[in-house]
């Protein structure tokens, strides 16, 4: 079979009640269907198919699933396991927007979060929005950085994603429009090989209200993907990227498997693959890993 449609649900959320309508929808479009292969009981299943464009299969699956909390990702059967991962940090590897949480210590969380939301949905220029938000934090004690970090939580499945891909030889890179203070800690915690982000400038024991140039934005994320893939001698088809904001979209669209993860509308609508209901283990199932192969970092 030329392609695989993977259905993924939160643990315990997938069974024949979801599987059978999807298979029937594909059959109604005259697809050739292979036997379902369970990757994780009641969590993830592969549906091999041929004779149908992946976009058609995906649309049919989503219509058949209706409101069910099940993600569907269609991929070519060949080359499913990727050798390079580039991941966004905020609202992707960690559950929060670290800049918004940092702003809480200045009493500005709501105001800054509103700007973040617009920037992540592509309504504002990323560089200008970043400079504006950081400027509002001028004079904030650097102790707020550590306090923000202590309250930061990993996204469910983050350790599984990194541990499994590293075990199978993939290079894992964290690339964020956030700040090195946080990306360095996240990279060390979950096992990224390297990290790239922006640098907050300091004035003694306070934030200076400025970001060092050059600012890592959408174009820089794409350039990082292409540079590292080139260094490794990999085609972009052998890469996987994941993020949620407009500054992630270019790298999501360029990768062999680019995943919009609980993404903003402008990103979700433009990505070929998206995860709306599940954690980061979904990225492993989309590559054909079974539950038995998953290793936490």
Measured between alpha carbons, how far is 9 from 16 in angstroms, rounded to an integer? 13
* Residue in 106, 174, 112 with CA at minimum distance from that of residue 142: 106
Considering the candidates 90, 100, 160, 217, report the single residue annotated as catalytic.
90
Tell me whether residue 66 is exposed, middle or buried, using C-beta atoms within 10 angstroms of its C-beta: 0 to 12, 13 to 18, 19 or more.
exposed
Instruction: Count other C-beta atoms under 10 Å from residue 42's C-beta.
Output: 14
Strands 84-87 and 239-243 come out as parallel
Q: Give Cα separations from 272 to 182, 190, 241 (angstroms).
A: 29, 27, 12
* Residue in 195, 92, 98, 94 with CA at minimum distance from that of residue 154: 94
Catalytic: 88? yes
Supply the Cα-derived Rg of the chain in whole angstroms.
20
Report whether 295 contacts 164 (CB < 8 A): yes
Helix (H) / strand (E) containing 178: strand 171-179
End-to-end CA distance of the chain: 33
Catalytic: 67? no
Strands 44-50 and 37-40 come out as antiparallel
Helix (H) / strand (E) containing 47: strand 44-50
Considering the candidates 46, 88, 100, 217, report the single residue annotated as catalytic.
88
Q: What angle do CA 289, 191, 99 make, to 5 degrees?
A: 110
Q: Which residues are catalytic?
A: 88, 90
């Amino acid at each position: 079979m030329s392609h695989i449609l993977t259905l993924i649900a939160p643990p315990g959320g997938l069974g024949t009640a979801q599987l059978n309508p999807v298979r029937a929808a594909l059959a109604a479009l005259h697809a050739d269907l292979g036997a379902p292969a369970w990757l994780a009981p009641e969590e993830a299943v592969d549906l091999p198919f041929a004779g149908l464009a992946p976009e058609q299969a995906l649309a049919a699956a989503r219509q058949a699933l209706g409101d069910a909390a099940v993600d569907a990702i269609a991929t070519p059967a060949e080359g499913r396991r990727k050798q390079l991962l580039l991941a966004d940090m905020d609202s992707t590897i960690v559950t929060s927007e670290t800049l918004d949480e940092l702003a809480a210590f200045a009493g500005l969380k709501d105001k800054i979060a509103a700007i973040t939301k617009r920037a992540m949905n592509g309504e504002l220029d990323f560089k200008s929005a970043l400079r504006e938000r950081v400027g509002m934090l001028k004079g904030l004690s650097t102790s707020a950085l550590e306090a923000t970090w202590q309250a930061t939580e990993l996204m469910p499945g983050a350790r599984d994603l990194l541990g499994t891909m590293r075990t199978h030889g993939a290079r894992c890179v964290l690339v964020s429009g956030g700040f090195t203070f946080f990306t360095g800690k996240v990279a060390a915690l979950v096992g990224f090989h390297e990290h790239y982000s922006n640098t907050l400038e300091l004035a003694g024991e306070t934030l200076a209200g400025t970001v060092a140039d050059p600012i890592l934005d959408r174009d820089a994320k794409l350039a990082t993907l292409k540079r590292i893939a080139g260094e490794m001698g990999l085609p972009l088809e052998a890469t996987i990227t994941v993020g949620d904001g407009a500054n992630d979209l270019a790298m999501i669209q360029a990768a062999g498997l680019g995943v919009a993860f609980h993404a903003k509308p402008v990103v979700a609508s433009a990505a070929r693959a998206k995860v709306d209901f599940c954690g980061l283990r979904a990225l492993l199932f989309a590559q054909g890993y079974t539950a038995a192969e998953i290793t936490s970092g």
